[in-house]
């Protein structure tokens, strides 16, 4: 009996000892500053950049080795001034516009020896000048037929020689082979064209003043007149008299 009570006492002591030593687990304490849990955003997929294609080696070499060449600055030609009408130039033709023609002299002086005369409308070639002397502007000219010398081209106010030729004009000088001439008969008279030179030559046709003819042969001197074989643009061919002692019937065009 005693042993049974002792056993119960021991068991009861063990039970109380076990109950006194039990410590419940601590409750979790939420962290300070943290509220309700926030949903974590789902990360978006990062877009991978497209790879730039690498050009072939030959193209790379071209771009790497090709050096741009500097573009040279173009050199503009020096503009040549256009001469104004009437300007006389060396080596160029000029026309006599003095009403009485121009005297040709050995030197640029009115007292120099006179060599001849250029008639009005004559065309000459300028070879020297200008020279200003004794109140005149002098030019040395040549008509290419043996007459050359100094002429007064003007006096500072009046002009007697010009570089503006204009249309060809009849000139009062002797006809030469190869000239283009104009019929310059006066008072409405016509000029006879004949089959042969001389007043007895058979008449072909009469042409009016102002007609242009090409001199193709001659001269032949008959009846104290110089005769020239001439041709018109339409094919008319024959002989015509140059003129009399008082009149000129054929005048060269210059």
The reply to whether domains 93-162 and 180-252 share a CATH topology is yes
Instruction: Quote the pLDDT of residue 22.
Output: 47
pTM over the 0.85 mark? no
Percent of the chain with pLDDT strictly greater than 90: 60
Q: Which 3-state string (H, E, C) describes 5-68?
A: HHHHHHHHHHHHHHHHCCCCCCCCCCCCCCCCCCCCCCCCCCCCCCCCCCCCHHHHHHHHHCCC
Residue with token string 């009115």? 110
- Segment 103-128, tens digit of pLDDT: 999 999 999 999 999 999 999 999 99
- Segment 198-232, tens digit of pLDDT: 999 999 999 999 999 999 999 999 989 999 999 99
Homologous superfamily of the 93-162 domain (CATH): SH3 Domains (2.30.30.40)
What is the Cα gyration radius of the chain? Answer: 61
Instruction: Quote the pLDDT of residue 211.
Output: 97
- Segment 23-38, tens digit of pLDDT: 455 555 554 544 455 5
Mean pLDDT of 163-178: 93
Domain ranges of the chain: 93-162, 180-252
Q: What angle do CA 6, 8, 9 make, to 5 degrees?
A: 65
Q: Are 250 and 240 in contact (CB under 8 A)?
A: yes
Architecture of domain 180-252: Roll (2.30)
Instruction: Quote the pLDDT of residue 59.
Output: 46
Mean pLDDT of the chain: 82
């Amino acid at each position: 009996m005693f042993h049974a009570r002792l056993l119960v006492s021991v068991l009861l002591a063990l039970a109380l000892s076990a109950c006194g030593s039990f410590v419940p687990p601590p409750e979790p304490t939420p962290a300070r500053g943290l509220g309700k849990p926030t949903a974590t955003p789902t990360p978006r997929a990062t877009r991978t950049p497209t790879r730039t294609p690498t050009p072939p080696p030959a193209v790379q070499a071209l771009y790497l080795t090709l050096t741009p060449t500097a573009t040279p600055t173009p050199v503009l030609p020096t503009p040549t001034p256009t001469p104004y009408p009437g300007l006389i130039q060396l080596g160029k033709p000029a026309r006599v516009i003095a009403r009485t023609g121009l005297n040709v002299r050995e030197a640029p002086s009115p007292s120099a020896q006179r060599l001849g005369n250029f008639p009005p409308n004559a065309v000459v070639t300028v070879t020297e000048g200008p020279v200003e002397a004794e109140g005149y502007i002098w030019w040395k000219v040549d008509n290419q037929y043996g007459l050359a010398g100094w002429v007064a081209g003007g006096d500072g106010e009046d002009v007697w020689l010009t570089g503006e030729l204009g249309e060809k004009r009849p000139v009062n000088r002797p006809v030469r082979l190869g000239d283009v001439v104009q019929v310059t008969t006066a008072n409405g008279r016509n000029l006879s064209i004949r089959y042969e030179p001389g007043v007895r030559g058979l008449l072909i046709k009469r042409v009016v003043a102002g007609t242009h003819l090409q001199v193709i042969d001659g001269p032949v001197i008959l009846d104290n007149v110089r005769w020239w074989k001439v041709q018109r643009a339409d094919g008319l061919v024959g002989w015509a008299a140059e003129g009399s002692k008082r009149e000129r019937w054929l005048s060269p065009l210059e």
